[in-house]
Every structure is written in C-alpha cells, then in structure tokens.
Amino acid sequence: MGTRAGLQTLLETVLGSRNVYFQPPPTLEMKYPCIVYNLDNMNTKFADNNPYRIEKRYSLTIIDKDPDSLIPDKIALLQKCMFDRHFVTDNLNHNIFIIFF
C-alpha cells in the first residue's frame, strides 16, 4: 500500500507534467491535459475481527482536448488500475479510471 504522495508522484511521472490535482477546488483553473483524482473508497481486510490491511481506492479522471490521447493507455497499464468510463464535456475528453494504491 502506497501513500497519496506516492500516487501523486507516479501520476506526474506518467503524465509528464505537474498538472495532477488532488480534490481541486472549483475555482482552480486547470491546465490540460491533466489528471484529477480523489479518494473513492477504502477496502479493509480483517482477521479475528481486527483490520490488518487497508487498501485505498482512488478515482482518476484524465482530462484532455485530444480524443486520441495516449495518456489513458499509459494509465491503464498501472498495477491495480481499471478503466471505468469515458465522456465528453465542453469539448474535453474525460477518461475515468479506478486505482487501488
């Protein structure tokens, strides 16, 4: 299990820029392409009714003007990462992934 700071670094490396935002406020003007992510859930494993492992699940949204962007392909190759859905809003492509980190 990694830290959120570790996930931030990993996503910046994959994206090739610092346009990675964790729970950005609505007033933030983002630069594209970018990745927006937030904590989505926590998966807890129990033994003898006590938690012994907690795995955090994050929702990642890749936002890009380019419909043929290679960024979603790179994200899809990460460990414990799954594609969820795609949609277009305001001429921006949104690819949603779920990752356990």
* 13-58 confidence digits (pLDDT tens): 999 999 999 999 999 999 999 999 999 999 899 999 999 899 999 9
H or E element, residue 94: strand 92-100
* Residue-wise pLDDT tens digits, 49-82: 999 899 999 999 999 999 999 999 999 999 999 9
Q: Is residue 1 over pLDDT 70?
A: no
- pTM reported for the whole predicted model: 0.90
Our count of domains for the chain comes to 1
Question: Confidence band (pLDDT; 50, 70, 90) for 6?
Answer: very high
In which domain, by residue range, is 96 found? 4-100
Residues whose CB is less than 8 angstroms from the CB of residue 43 and which lie 6 or more positions away in sequence, other chains included: 54, 55, 56, 57, 100
CATH number where 94 lies: 3.30.2000.10
